[in-house]
């Protein structure tokens, strides 16, 4: 009856068609080995060997993904049983989550009759054997993930070299569970799903989705996750377990392909009880050959031997497709690592070398300061406006000038300050003469009122320059963190000295304005003549009989109150108004002169700082033993640079070996 049934053939990608040595009904065929891998062509074997060498070199830690089979499935879907059958070894089994860490299974076919099995984790190598492998995995998992029921994304690698196993590298991940059980964290689902996405997202990953025949495939969480990263199913293969437990409708499930599995399906029977792997394979072959429903499924998509060979072919196909990109990434990362290593400072072996290196650092920093502080060249910092120093200094000076020349609101009534000072400075002499002492007294008051502004400006300016110098020093000494603090301190000390000198100089510039009333600027006479032309009309308005106005419009002052002036001596009004106009005309020139002097002094100070003081002062500070002996500390390479150098050397060594490993296979292609 079985032989008369019509076979339903499912579509298998041509490149993955499996050539089987044994067919159903061939009673004389040799018993099935667990699992059988009977053929390698000359092209597949070198590809697998190349990737295996890259795995041994651990090229993945350089961020280069290798084609890897990632095994995912819902909890209790039968993942462990499938892997056991492929490897021919026993893995931890039981209720709940059996796999609590990523288990990287590296299966390697061996001609030796004695299997070699060992575990690797946390830089440890733990040999074991077939009898104790499950116990060894449990013990290693306990070390990695703890003794509870939690999970960890730290991998555990299982190496199996054994006759009859396929050359495969697979990563078995914890089964997906939504509801935490006692002893599991509340976010167990998030932890497991995050771990799964990390492994299946790379385009080099081959997703082996383990589905139980007893469930609706469209509701499986593992299918939902794999479709997130492989929407078209181009790199997903499904293995259907427990076929003997739910044979009804299985044919329709794998032929309808409602979940878009492009690499196809393989239906298997799980090992039952104490069956040996040989017995399990014989029972599996018998089941799919004789069962009235399961025998309808095409023989090219049933059985562990078919799954093993399909996985090998898929893995080889993925390797061939990804190899050019892997080679490109290896070369690119090698070039980058060599370039970064060459950028690191040489290891300094003597005080002379240290001093030369220090001079190079200071020299390069000086050149940068010259460009950005003196020449206005900000090409070194095109996007950092704070380092466009000449522009920022000009902004600060402009703001200072505006603030300085803003007229404060008079606290006293118009002309009252002048009248009081004239009254106190009067002496026996001719009338209508303005005592020079009175003019200087008014001038001194004005200077005292703005005295703090220039000092505040120069301090603010040097604070800004200190930040710039600190940034420049940090940039040019970044490879010598052991002396960076010393050079920065030397820079701060230098700026502190200059700031103190500048403050004293600015105070002198301001105080000079009190000494005498002098200018050769012809604008003084122009302003005074123009402003003083209103004197007679102003005096008349104050002394007017009859309808006396309370306010009078004075050029430069607006409407000013004049009623309070009528009670004062008339003879003081003329000299008071005259002195008001003189001091107003002269004060405009004084303020501009202060701004000009500060601008010129600042330019000179900055240029002097860059051209002579910077290099001399910092070198003196660094070579002075009392200051900490910064030069001697350069002989001690900082732990950060030493660690970076060692890491780069290791990366270059690994990448060169990886490049050599792929060279032969690339040449063949």
Mean pLDDT estimate for the chain: 83
What does the block give as tokens for 354? 């240290």
In this prediction, residues 195-217 reach a mean pLDDT of: 91
Is pLDDT larger for residue 61 or for residue 38? 61
What is the percent of the chain where pLDDT is above 70?
87
**pLDDT, tens only, 17-45:** 344 434 444 444 444 443 433 344 456 67
At 43 the pLDDT is 63
Highest mean pLDDT among 74-83, 91-100, 380-389: 380-389
Does residue 279 carry a pLDDT above 50? Answer: yes
Judge contact between 387 and 372, C-beta under 8 A. Answer: yes
**pLDDT, tens only, 145-180:** 888 788 888 889 999 988 888 888 889 888 888 777
**pLDDT, tens only, 241-275:** 999 998 998 999 888 878 888 899 999 998 887 88
pTM beyond cutoff 0.85: no
What is the percent of the chain where pLDDT is above 90?
30
At 634 the pLDDT is 60
The per-residue DSSP string of 379-410 comes to TTSTT-GGG-HHHHHHHHHHHHHHHHHSPPPP
Closest CA relative to residue 162, chosen from 123, 126, 133, 125: 133
Instruction: Write a three-state SS string for 404-415.
Output: HHCCCCCCCCCC
Which segment of 235-244, 355-364, 427-436, 594-603 scores lowest on mean pLDDT?
427-436
**pLDDT, tens only, 477-500:** 887 777 777 788 888 889 999 999
Segment 485-493 long-range contacts (CB within 8 Å, at least 24 positions apart): 486/621, 486/622, 486/627, 486/628, 486/630, 486/633, 487/361, 487/362, 487/618, 487/622, 487/630, 489/621, 490/617, 490/618, 490/621, 490/622, 490/627, 490/630, 491/466, 491/618, 492/466, 493/617, 493/621
Judge contact between 315 and 208, C-beta under 8 A. Answer: no
In this prediction, residues 101-121 reach a mean pLDDT of: 88
Binning pLDDT at 50, 70 and 90, where does residue 207 land?
very high
At 331 the pLDDT is 92
Judge contact between 223 and 237, C-beta under 8 A. Answer: no
At 602 the pLDDT is 95
In this prediction, residues 466-479 reach a mean pLDDT of: 89
Instruction: Give Cβ neighbours of residue 654 (< 8 Å, ≥ 6 apart).
Output: 57, 58, 59, 61, 62
């Amino acid at each position: 009856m079985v032989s008369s049934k019509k076979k339903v053939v499912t579509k298998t990608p041509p490149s993955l068609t499996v050539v089987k040595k044994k067919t159903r009904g061939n009673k004389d065929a040799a018993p099935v080995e667990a699992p059988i891998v009977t053929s390698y062509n000359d092209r597949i074997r070198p590809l697998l060997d190349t990737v295996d060498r890259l795995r041994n070199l651990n090229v993945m830690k350089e961020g280069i993904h290798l084609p890897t089979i990632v095994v995912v499935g819902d909890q209790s879907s039968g993942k462990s049983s499938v892997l056991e059958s492929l490897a021919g070894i026993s893995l931890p089994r039981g209720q709940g989550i059996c796999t609590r860490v990523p288990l990287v299974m590296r299966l390697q076919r061996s001609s030796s009759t004695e299997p070699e099995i060992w575990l690797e984790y946390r830089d440890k190598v733990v040999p074991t054997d077939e009898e104790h492998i499950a116990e060894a995995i449990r013990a290693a998992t306990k070390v990695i993930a703890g003794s509870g029921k939690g999970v960890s994304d730290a991998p555990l690698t299982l190496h199996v070299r054994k006759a009859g196993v396929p050359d495969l590298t697979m990563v078995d991940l914890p089964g997906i569970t939504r509801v935490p059980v006692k002893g599991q964290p509340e976010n167990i689902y998030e932890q497991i799903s995050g771990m799964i996405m990390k492994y299946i997202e790379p385009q080099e990953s081959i997703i082996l989705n383990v589905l139980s025949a007893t469930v609706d495939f469209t509701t499986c969480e593992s299918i939902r996750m794999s479709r997130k990263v492989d929407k078209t199913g181009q790199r997903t293969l499904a293995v259907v377990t427990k076929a003997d437990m739910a044979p009804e409708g299985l044919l329709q499930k794998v032929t309808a392909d409602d979940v878009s599995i492009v690499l196809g399906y393989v239906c298997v029977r799980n090992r039952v009880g104490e069956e040996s792997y040989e017995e399990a394979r014989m029972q599996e072959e018998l089941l799919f050959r004789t069962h009235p429903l399961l025998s309808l499924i095409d023989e090219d998509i049933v059985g562990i031997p078919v799954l093993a060979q399909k996985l090998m072919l898929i893995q080889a196909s993925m390797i061939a497709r990804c190899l050019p990109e892997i080679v490109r990434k290896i070369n690119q990362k090698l070039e980058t690592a060599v370039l970064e290593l060459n950028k690191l400072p040489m290891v300094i072996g003597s005080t002379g070398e240290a001093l030369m290196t220090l001079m190079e650092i200071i020299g390069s920093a000086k050149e940068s300061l010259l460009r950005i502080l003196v020449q206005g060249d900000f090409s070194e910092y095109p996007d950092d406006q704070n380092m466009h120093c000449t522009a920022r200094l000009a902004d600060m000076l402009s703001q200072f000038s505006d603030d300085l020349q803003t007229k404060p609101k008079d606290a006293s009534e118009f002309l009252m300050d002048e009248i009081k000072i004239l009254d106190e400075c009067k002496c026996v002499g001719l009338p209508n003469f303005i005592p020079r002492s009175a003019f200087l007294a008014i001038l001194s008051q004005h200077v005292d009122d703005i005295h703090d502004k220039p000092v505040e400006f120069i301090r603010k300016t040097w604070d800004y320059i200190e930040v710039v110098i600190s940034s420049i020093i940090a940039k040019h000494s970044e490879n010598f963190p052991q002396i960076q603090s010393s050079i920065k301190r030397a820079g701060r000390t230098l700026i502190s000295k200059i700031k103190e000198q500048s403050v004293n100089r600015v105070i002198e510039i301001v105080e000079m304005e009190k000494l005498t009333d002098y200018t050769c600027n012809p604008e003084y006479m122009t302003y005074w003549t123009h402003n003083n032309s209103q004197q007679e009309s102003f005096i008349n308005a104050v002394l007017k009989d009859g309808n006396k106005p309370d306010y009078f419009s004075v050029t430069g002052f607006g409407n000013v109150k004049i009623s309070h002036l009528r009670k004062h001596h008339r003879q003081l009004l003329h000299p008071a108004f005259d002195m008001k106009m003189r001091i107003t005309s002269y004060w405009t020139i004084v303020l501009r002169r202060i701004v000009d002097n500060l601008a010129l002094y600042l330019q000179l100070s900055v240029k002097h700082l860059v051209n002579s003081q910077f290099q001399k002062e910092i070198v003196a500070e660094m070579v002075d033993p009392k200051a900490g002996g910064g030069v001697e500390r350069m002989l001690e390479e900082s732990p950060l640079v030493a660690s970076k150098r060692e890491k780069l050397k290791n990366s270059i060594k690994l990448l060169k070996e990886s490049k050599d490993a792929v060279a032969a296979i690339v040449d063949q292609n």
